[in-house]
Amino acid sequence: MNPLRSVGAKLSLALAAIVAGALAIVYLIVVPSLERNLVDAKRTQLRRALPGVVRQLPNSPYLWQDFAQTAAESTNARVVLLDTLYEGPPVTLTTSADSNLVESTDVERDPIAIKAATRLERVEGTTVRHGQRYAEVAAPVARDGPVLLLSAPLRDSLRSVHLVQRRLLLAGLGALAVAAGLGLLGSLVFTRRIRRLERAADRIAGGEFGEPVHDASEDELGQLAGAFDRMRLRLARLEHARREFIANASHELRTPIFSLSGFLELLTDEELDEATRREFLLTMREQIERLTRLATDLLDLSRLDAGRIHVERQSLDLGTLAEALVEEFSPAARARGHELSAVVSVDAAAAADEERVRQIGGILLENALVHTPPGTTVRVRARTQNSRAELTVEDDGPGIAPELTERVFERFSRGDGSIASGSGLGLAIARELAELMDGSVELTSRLGRTAFTLSLPSSTAEPAFSRENAEVLV
Ligand SMILES: Nc1ncnc2c1ncn2[C@@H]1O[C@H](COP(=O)(O)OP(=O)(O)OP(=O)(O)O)[C@@H](O)[C@H]1O
Ligand SMILES: [Mg+2]
């Protein structure tokens, strides 16, 4: 990875940017105001000194030069007297006395003095001469008199400003280096933790679920590690369930295939009498039927897992469906010596998929007929309860053992010594199909009453047709 794109580099840069920003703000607040204050103080000093100098100015111009020098010492400023050579515009000035003996012509074009001569009033400000800044105050002494200019260099005053500037710059550079270093150091700790998480994610992606993902800290990375660990546990459970499903499914498929191959071998024995051969063929047909059913159930489950089962939402009268189911299963019920009936309320309209509800009803009804002893009464009820449409299949058989009631809806879960042993997939399919239609399948079981209730959203539309309460006995 490009080192500049690493978290460490980004964190260091961010910290450095924050420090640089903070220092820039401090600089902009401190330096200009300090400079302004110092310049103002100098100007005030000159302004205050000006009236005294004007008052003491001798009348005779011959004395001005000496006066300028004395005044310069007392005011701590250069004192210049300028005569107006030409009244302008623009006004032209000429030096008539200057405390600075070296060069006097440089102030003749002084903008502050020219302004004072033009406006005939006191003017103050700062100006730059020979690359140096000066605070200046200028005023005409009298109407026709010279312009008095007090000019003091700002170099000494601004020295402290430059000192502050330098210190700030140095402090800034130091703070930047410290910030970048700290950012890099802090990021090293985080990078190590992130790398640990990355390795854990790679392990999980590679199917290793054994090692827990752990991070003792409670910050966001700690929470991310917690989420990773929850994902690891869930994936481990799913993987376990997947393996178990495949093992169960292949075992379920192997049993009938093994039995079929045994019978085939026996059938090749030519000494078999006709009656035994018929019996074998009958058993083989049963095994093939079992295999076909198992294949259909497994296909249903895999479609459910893949989310490929589409359910319609249509208004469906559960009463009509209950009666149809009773009619369909009545021959099987009669053959096993069961009494089968439907108890139907006036309107039990559900918003559901007819084919899937019929499939669930069939699973429940078949269980009630297959897993109960002969002579058991089985009822199919349809009603609306708490604005849910319900289809209940109940029997007065021996019930389901309490330790099994929790598990009956799990795949491949079946009761020990079931009267007729299936694959244990029926109820799992029923519940998953019901959930697909925003419904549920619940079990209430006690000795003498076992009831499986399919609860579905009730349809707001009118039921297909309305009918009086009726009990149909078969
Ligand atoms: N009405 C019932 N009375 C007693 N036991 C029941 C009843 N319904 C279900 N069971 C028990 O619940 C178990 C699970 O039922 P499920 O329909 O899921 O599987 P199965 O009937 O054994 O096999 P499959 O339906 O796949 O052929 C059954 O094996 C049986 O022990
Ligand atoms: Mg079943």
Q: Give the pLDDT means over successive 10-residue stretches in the chain (474 positions).
A: 71 84 88 90 92 88 90 92 82 88 83 90 92 92 86 88 88 86 83 90 92 88 93 92 89 89 86 87 92 92 88 92 95 93 88 95 95 94 92 93 88 72 89 95 90 92 42 40
Question: Which atom of ligand 1 has the smallest separation from the CA of 424?
Answer: 19
Pocket of ligand 1 (CB under 6 A): 297, 363, 367-368, 371-372, 395, 397, 400, 408, 413-415, 418, 422-428, 450
* Adjacent-strand bridge partners of 315: 351
- Model pLDDT, residue 122: 93
pLDDT of the residue at 1: 60
Q: Are 91 and 14 in contact (CB under 8 A)?
A: no
Ligand 2 centre from 426 Cα, in Å?
4
> From ligand 1's centre to the CA of 337, what distance in Å?
19
Q: What is the pLDDT of residue 470?
A: 40
Nearest ligand to the C-alpha atom of residue 368: 1
421 CA closest ligand 1 atom index: 22
Distance in angstroms (rounded) separating the CA atoms of residues 112 and 365: 111
Distance (angstroms) between ligand 1 centre and the Cα of 346 equals 30
Tell the residue nearest (CA) to atom 14 of ligand 1: 414
CA of 409 to the centre of ligand 1 (A): 9
- State how far the Cα of 246 lies from the Cα of 224, in Å rounded to an integer: 32
Nearest to residue 348, comparing CAs of 438, 241, 459, 228? 459
Measure 415 CA to ligand 1 centroid, in angstroms.
7
Residue nearest to ligand 1 atom 28, measured at CA: 414
Q: Which ligand is nearest to the CA of 413?
A: 1
- Residue 319's Cβ-side half-sphere holds a number of Cα atoms within 13 Å equal to 19
Distance 414 CA to ligand 1 centre (A): 6
Structure confidence at residue 421 (pLDDT): 66
Ligand closest to CA 429? 1
Question: Rounded CA gap, 30 and 165, in Å?
Answer: 9
- Give the sign of the dihedral formed by CA 406, CA 411, CA 413, CA 419: positive
Q: What is the pLDDT of residue 9?
A: 79
